[in-house]
Amino acid sequence: MSLTKEIQKRRTFAIIAHPDAGKTTLTEKLLLFGGAIQTAGAVKSNKIDTATKSDWMEIEKQRGISVATSVMGFEYQGVKINLLDTPGHQDFAEDTYRTLTAVDSVIMVIDCVKGVEIQTEKLMEVCRMRNTPVICFINKLDREGRDPYELLDEVEEKLNIQVRPLSWPIGMGKGFKGVYNLYDKKLNVFTPSQRKLSDARETIQNLEDTKLDELIGGNNAWQLREDVELIEGVYPDFDPKEYLEGKVAPVFFGSAVNNFGVNEMLDTFIRIAPSPIGRHTEDREVNPEEPKFSGFVFKIHANMDPNHRNRIAFLRIVSGKFERNKPYNHVRGPKPLRFSNVTQFMAQDREIVDEAFPGDIVGLFDTGNLKIGDTLTEGENMTFKGIPSFSPEIFKEVINKDAMKTKQLEKGLKQLMEEGVAQYFTYEMGNRKVVGTVGQLQFEVIQFRLKNEYNASVEFASMNLYKACWISSKDKKQLDEFIRSKSRHIAYDKDGKVVFMAESRAWLQMVQDNYPEIEFHFTSEF
């Protein structure tokens, strides 16, 4: 098959949401429809002993939340789907931000009871940075939620994007009967099933068909006809081009846990979602149809298999064809790299692949050569632009509880920080080690993983810090003098960049006023 055809048959997207909106459950159901799994797990359920496929890390199973991005690939109706399930919890937002650089579109899950929440708004801001096409899935219609029209208005207002419903719910809560597919002008009436797909479905292709009244009841049938007439009158026809430009968000309604509405969205998604698109480097834009391979690392994960200490770099292929055992230019590194162990994923399950194409996410077995943001090419020296590290909000000093395990601790911290779990700073004076995070939960994850994966025990001592500021100056002499005079407050990040650790907003402002020739940056890329 030609490179162009391989590109056209691929869809690479992320599922994002505020915590507990049903994102991981929706992921499970997409895998069910794709035939990748036969039975769905249940998040935070004691009744079903199958853990969800995408939440495979031990701490995720215990807490019932996603703390790391899972990558899953499957085929559906001749389309190769690369699905990335991201952490919903805001404490792990940086992992989600990085993941959004590796996808071409997004499905955003919204709880019909709670509506648009804070984390949903933040994620939408990141999508808007790259005009990423967004589909909204309004979930949990099996519960008594808010009016669908009210939800549409809220999405438009809070997310600052036009909406166009492409499916419509029939009833809600206990009276929820199914969804009408506005895109295909077709109604499927389902029998709810949490764990397996039901074959019991009736298809109605004409809303005036009296069979509709028999299936869902006269009142529901009348209401559906009224709603569809109103929607078609109020909203303009759906324009796929405006969706691809990030101007319009198609909206689908359903209940992921009961398999309502998921199929309608997936069938429409594979038709309207973009095939793999190009990416910008610091010098030019790379087109996916360029014959020479290029790609970038957006995630590192160590110890995916607890029985075998390994380190996997997740690579998004941007152009050309990637081939196993072929040497590639590591733009940042001193020599070309060759990969014999190249995998594609179904969560932690992996299979060896010989080749992969633009849009695909592959795992590269790595011994420490690669880090987040690295570019691999078939010769050209170029670097893909990424999302930088932001200044953390919480800072804590690392206290080693077992001096005999110092080496294990240092190795564990180094690997976890290279994964992007948190940010790591080492003070110039006293060699104090500080971890910076977006939220408190990250410290628990780091502590848990250090103990379980590296046999290292730590405590975290709170620090009174306001911001970590990366610093630079056009005058090297002035920069050196600043570093010398403020040595008690100077640290280095994991890449060796100089960072000024500000203790308060007022003090930072005073230092900035006193040293106008020094530039203070709140992100690591400047």
Q: For residue 466, what pLDDT is reported? A: 94
Domain tally, the chain: 3
C-beta atoms surrounding 261 within 10 Å: 29
Could you tell me whether strands 361-365 and 342-346 are parallel, antiparallel, or unpaired per DSSP bridges?
A: antiparallel
pTM: 0.78
Q: For residue 431, what pLDDT is reported? A: 83
**Domain presence at residue 426:** yes
The whole-angstrom separation of Cα 443 and Cα 257 is 31
Helix axes 262-272, 23-33, angle to 10 degrees: 80
Q: Distance between the two ends of the chain, CA-based, in angstroms?
A: 42
Q: Using an 8 Å Cβ cutoff, are 321 and 276 in contact?
A: no
**Domain presence at residue 385:** no
38 and 182 in a single domain? The answer is: yes
**Domain presence at residue 171:** yes
> What CATH number is attached to the domain comprising 467?
3.30.70.3280
371 and 236 in a single domain? The answer is: no
The whole-angstrom separation of Cα 301 and Cα 420 is 9
**Domain presence at residue 408:** yes
Q: For residue 308, what pLDDT is reported? A: 45
The whole-angstrom separation of Cα 412 and Cα 145 is 45
418 and 512 in a single domain? The answer is: yes
**Domain presence at residue 517:** yes
* Alpha-carbon distances, residue 272 vs 26, 135, 205, 240, 275 (angstroms): 19, 10, 21, 6, 9
**Domain presence at residue 174:** yes
- 179, 185, 189, 192: CA torsion to nearest 10: -40
Domain's final residue, options 252, 272, 292: 272
Q: Using an 8 Å Cβ cutoff, are 173 and 142 in contact?
A: yes
Domain's final residue, options 221, 255, 272: 272
Q: For residue 310, what pLDDT is reported? A: 66
Helix, strand, coil % in the chain, rounded to nearest 5: 30, 30, 40
| Among the listed residues 339, 145, 311, 160, the one whose alpha carbon sits nearest the alpha carbon of residue 247 | 160
125 and 244 in a single domain? The answer is: yes
Q: Which domain holds residue 504?
A: 394-521
321, amino acid identity: K
239 and 262 in a single domain? The answer is: yes
* Alpha-carbon distances, residue 478 vs 487, 518, 519 (angstroms): 14, 8, 11
- 145, 149, 154, 156: CA torsion to nearest 10: 140
31 and 92 in a single domain? The answer is: yes
Domain's final residue, options 342, 377, 412: 377
Q: Mean pLDDT in runs of 10 for the chain (526 residues)? A: 92 89 85 70 40 50 49 88 73 70 94 90 83 95 93 95 94 87 82 53 77 87 93 93 95 90 91 94 93 92 57 91 95 92 71 92 87 91 79 91 92 84 88 87 87 92 94 94 95 92 95 95 77
The whole-angstrom separation of Cα 437 and Cα 87 is 15
**Domain presence at residue 247:** yes
Q: For residue 282, what pLDDT is reported? A: 85
369 and 463 in a single domain? The answer is: no
64 and 123 in a single domain? The answer is: yes
* Alpha-carbon distances, residue 430 vs 302, 372, 398, 426 (angstroms): 29, 28, 13, 9
Beta strands in 430-523 (DSSP E): 433-437, 458-462, 467-472, 490-493, 498-502, 519-521
Q: For residue 65, what pLDDT is reported? A: 42
**Domain presence at residue 122:** yes
In the block, tokens 């759906």 appear at 238
221 and 296 in a single domain? The answer is: no
The whole-angstrom separation of Cα 52 and Cα 68 is 13
> What CATH number is attached to the domain comprising 82?
3.40.50.300
346 and 454 in a single domain? The answer is: no
369 and 332 in a single domain? The answer is: yes
**Degrees, nearest 5: CA angle 257-30-350:** 120
Q: For residue 451, what pLDDT is reported? A: 92
317 and 437 in a single domain? The answer is: no
